[in-house]
Amino acid sequence: MKKIDLLILTWHQTYLSKNAGGYIRLREFFKYIPNSIRFIIMDNQPSIYSDAVAKHQLYHYQTPAFLKFLEKRFFLFWFTLENIFAGIILYLSARRLIRDYQPKVLYVPIGEFVHIYFPSILLKLQFPKIKLVVDILNFEIPGEGAINYYRTLRKSGINFIRSLFTIYATIQSSFLIKKSIRLIDYVFTVSPDLVDKLRVFYKKDTIDYTLSGVTIPKKIKAVKKSFLGVYVGRLTVQKGVFELLDIWSMLVKKLPIAKLALAGQVDEVTKLALLDRISKLKLKKNVTFFGAVSESKKQKILSRSQIFLHLARYEPLFPVIGILEGLAQKLPVIIYNMKVVDSQLKEGLTDKPFLIAENGNKERVVQKILEFFQFPARQKTILAKEAYQLANKFDWSIIAEKEFNIINRMIKLN
């Protein structure tokens, strides 16, 4: 049996689209694994990476079939059992693959998932010679503490039990990482800010951050603009979409013709809550709710829009994939001045294509939109050019190269 260099442990939420931002990031990352690296990706069925890597580079595992029956009827019960079984099966399968293929590096690209992270720690203890590399994308409760986050979840229509469960899962993941991060050989995260926070618990120098990337369109045709504003990405309370609707309600009182497009992955509970908010705010004529769309449809929506709005009050990384996709379609972006934004600006990121409002200041966002609407055509052209130029600095080939160069170096040294 041939040996491999790299074993990658993954798991994806089967109820989400493969076009959710985090999975786009991984699928694009894996496309740029150097040919010199022999690897296997472990993923639950049906795999979302079948179009990113060759068939022989994928190892499928499956949780018990009876769990599928519970998914739509008892979501939290299903999710708990799914994670437990996934963790056990992943550990046992990975242990067998390590013994058979003797990889030099074990790579966990979603470290905040306990059912992936915990098995990787057990495998590191069992096979101490293997190098463990972990990406930690989230490490803390979004916003200003658990209570405020709970209130935000509840306002979006998420029920009491699921809100508490969401907060508990985040706290559990953070606690486990703090207690065991010292066992990891190399830590990647997504911002300088998170590097500083993890250094409190990780005393080694082997820590760095890699940003998200974007596929740059080769040609962008001029098309008629149907929407003043657009948001593309996961439609969740954490991404600020409910706040965006409130802002749009304020905007149409001053600019009745303003049209907004919303597109992205959304669960049924949040979808109903968003549609209800659109109805109550009397925005049916001003907001087009697309929901989950194909990649080609997403690009068409972006190309028909004038400005991208991302109004999350907290993000672990910046720019997120949705923003980058907007920039790649020459859209300037309105954002809040989150801590991670300030962190990236200090690192040298240009602020030219961004219109930045104070975090949580809805009135200021409305002003920014109106200011943009009134810009002369020449100024809008300049902003579009600056947006596209910035997007090109985040081409996936550039972003992935940094991380895989480090992994490749670890393979050669081990």
CATH of the domain at 106: 3.40.50.2000
With beta carbons less than 8 A apart as the criterion, state whether 49 and 43 touch.
yes
The CA distance from 221 to 241, in Å, is: 28
Q: Return the H-helix or E-strand segment holding 23.
A: helix 21-31
Let me know whether 379 and 407 are in one domain.
Answer: no
| pLDDT for the residue numbered 71 | 67
Q: Which residue is listed with tokens 């966002």?
A: 365
- Sign (positive/negative) of CA torsion 165, 170, 175, 181? positive
Mean pLDDT of 75-91: 87
Let me know whether 162 and 234 are in one domain.
Answer: no
The CA distance from 215 to 321, in Å, is: 10
With beta carbons less than 8 A apart as the criterion, state whether 396 and 29 touch.
yes
With beta carbons less than 8 A apart as the criterion, state whether 225 and 305 touch.
yes
Residue 222 lies in a domain: no
In sequence order, the β-bridge partners of residue 131 are 105
| pLDDT for the residue numbered 282 | 96
Mean pLDDT of 345-356: 90
Mean pLDDT of 367-395: 95
- Sign (positive/negative) of CA torsion 253, 279, 286, 230? positive
271 lies in which domain range? 227-392
Residue 220 lies in a domain: no
Residue 18 scores a pLDDT above 60: no
> Please, which pLDDT band fits residue 268 given cuts at 50, 70 and 90?
confident
Let me know whether 193 and 323 are in one domain.
Answer: no
Q: What's the domain count of the chain?
A: 2
With beta carbons less than 8 A apart as the criterion, state whether 408 and 37 touch.
yes
With beta carbons less than 8 A apart as the criterion, state whether 32 and 401 touch.
yes
With beta carbons less than 8 A apart as the criterion, state whether 355 and 323 touch.
no
The CA distance from 67 to 190, in Å, is: 33
> Please, which pLDDT band fits residue 1 given cuts at 50, 70 and 90?
low
Residue 332 lies in a domain: yes
**Would you give the distance in Å from CA 10 to the centre of its chain?**
15
3-state secondary structure 322-362: HHHHHHHCCCCEEEECCHHHHHHHHCCCCCCCEEEECCCCH
Let me know whether 62 and 199 are in one domain.
Answer: yes
Residue 192 lies in a domain: yes
The CA distance from 335 to 337, in Å, is: 7
CA neighbor of 254 nearest in space, from 357, 374, 334, 383: 374
Let me know whether 257 and 342 are in one domain.
Answer: yes
Residue 231 scores a pLDDT above 70: yes
Count of H-run helices and E-run strands, the chain: 15, 13
| pLDDT for the residue numbered 20 | 61
Of residues 152 and 172, the one with the higher pLDDT is 172
Let me know whether 138 and 75 are in one domain.
Answer: yes
Q: Which two tokens stand for residue 241?
A: 């979409």
Residue 258 scores a pLDDT above 80: yes
Let me know whether 109 and 56 are in one domain.
Answer: yes
β-pairing, 58-61 vs 207-209, is: unpaired
The CA distance from 328 to 305, in Å, is: 12
| pLDDT for the residue numbered 252 | 97
| pLDDT for the residue numbered 301 | 97
Let me know whether 358 and 286 are in one domain.
Answer: yes
Length of the chain: 414
Q: Could you give the residue ranges of the DSSP H alpha helices within 210-337?
A: 241-252, 268-280, 295-303, 321-328
The CA distance from 412 to 414, in Å, is: 6
Mean pLDDT of 67-75: 72
What is the DSSP-derived secondary structure letter of residue 46? Answer: S
Residue 369 lies in a domain: yes
The CA distance from 304 to 259, in Å, is: 11
| pLDDT for the residue numbered 43 | 94
Residue 221 lies in a domain: no
Average pLDDT over the chain, rounded to whole?
Answer: 90
Residue 263 scores a pLDDT above 80: yes
Let me know whether 70 and 98 are in one domain.
Answer: yes
Residue 4 scores a pLDDT above 90: yes
Residue 289 lies in a domain: yes
What does the buried/exposed string (b/e) look like for 213-227 if buried means 16 or more CB atoms within 10 Å of the residue's CB? bbbbbeeeeeeeeeb
> Please, which pLDDT band fits residue 70 given cuts at 50, 70 and 90?
confident
Let me know whether 371 and 409 are in one domain.
Answer: no
pLDDT in tens, 216-230: 887 788 889 999 999
Give SS3 for 408: helix
Residue 218 lies in a domain: no
Let me know whether 314 and 382 are in one domain.
Answer: yes
> Please, which pLDDT band fits residue 143 given cuts at 50, 70 and 90?
low
| pLDDT for the residue numbered 180 | 95
Residue 72 scores a pLDDT above 90: no
Mean pLDDT of 232-240: 90
Q: Which two tokens stand for residue 150?
A: 């709970």
What is the DSSP-derived secondary structure letter of residue 371? Answer: H
Cα distances (Å, whole numbers) of residue 288 to 276, 305, 324:
13, 12, 22
Q: Which two tokens stand for residue 344?
A: 């990236």
With beta carbons less than 8 A apart as the criterion, state whether 39 and 5 touch.
yes
Give SS3 for 290: strand
Write the burial class of residue 96 (CB in 10 Å: 0-12 exposed, 13-18 middle, 19+ buried). exposed
Let me know whether 287 and 175 are in one domain.
Answer: no
